[in-house]
Amino acid sequence: MILKDNFFGIFGLAVKAGKAMLGTFACEKGVKGGKVGLVLLDAGASNRTKKDVQNMCKFFEIPLIEVEPEGMMGKRCGKDGLMLAGITDPGFTKRLKEIAKSNDAEV
The tens digit of pLDDT for each residue in 3-14 reads 677 888 899 999
Confidence of residue 102 (pLDDT cuts 50, 70, 90): confident
Q: What is the pLDDT of residue 3?
A: 67
Q: What's the whole-number mean pLDDT along residues 18-23?
A: 95
What's the CA gap between 85 and 18, in Å, rounded?
Answer: 12
What's the CA gap between 21 and 14, in Å, rounded?
Answer: 10
What's the CA gap between 8 and 56, in Å, rounded?
Answer: 24
Q: What is the pLDDT of residue 34?
A: 95
The answer to whether residue 65 scores a pLDDT higher than 90 is yes
- Residue among 64, 60, 1, 67 at smallest CA distance from 32: 60
Q: What is the pLDDT of residue 24?
A: 92
Q: Which residue has the higher pLDDT, 2 or 31?
A: 31
Q: Which residue has the higher pLDDT, 70 or 40?
A: 40
Q: What's the whole-number mean pLDDT along residues 19-37?
A: 95
